[in-house]
Amino acid sequence: MKNFIPDQYVQSVYNIQIEELKERGIKGIITDLDNTLVEWDRKDATEELLHWFEKLQEAGFEVVIVSNNNEKRVHTFAAPHGLTFIHSAKKPFSRAFKSACRLMGLQRREVVVLGDQLLTDILGGNRAGFQTILVVPVAETDGLATKFNRAIERRVFRAMKRKGLIEWEKK
């Protein structure tokens, strides 16, 4: 059950304290794409998200998008903005997380994983030895596979709360 518990839980990526990450020695961010950065059916980044990426770059962070989605989807989103990405990641398996870390040239202790799903992002990041941050999904709708994961995720949240493993509420 501990592999499902994120190190931090925030409303959105915009609530992540960049300076706090730096103080903790974080230099790199592995982030999910769909429903973490933008809605799963939005093709491009919002102005607010592009500004957030600029702030990360100015602060010296490396960023890699790691998505289970296909190459076309992830490339269409990432390429126009010069973002590094790994598609078809097969999260929660750890291979893509470790590859992203190598692409950044960083150690695991220097990298945090951001995502909106316990069963893929948080479980995968924790199992691979990274710090993890769970964000509230940016959209209330999901693709078909994610809908199945969300149903399981709700049960995991309830079980963690019952066992006293979490102190925060799912927002």
Q: Where are the domains of the chain?
A: 2-162
Buried b (16+ CB within 10 A) or exposed e, 10-47: bebbeebebeebeeeebbbbbbbbbbbbbebebeebee
Tokens (6 digits) for 90: 């097969």
Q: What is the pTM of this model?
A: 0.87
- The CATH topology of domain 2-162 is Rossmann fold (3.40.50)
Banded pLDDT at 143 (limits 50, 70, 90): low
Cβ atoms of 69 and 87 within 8 Å: the answer is yes
Give the pLDDT confidence score for residue 72 in this predicted structure.
96
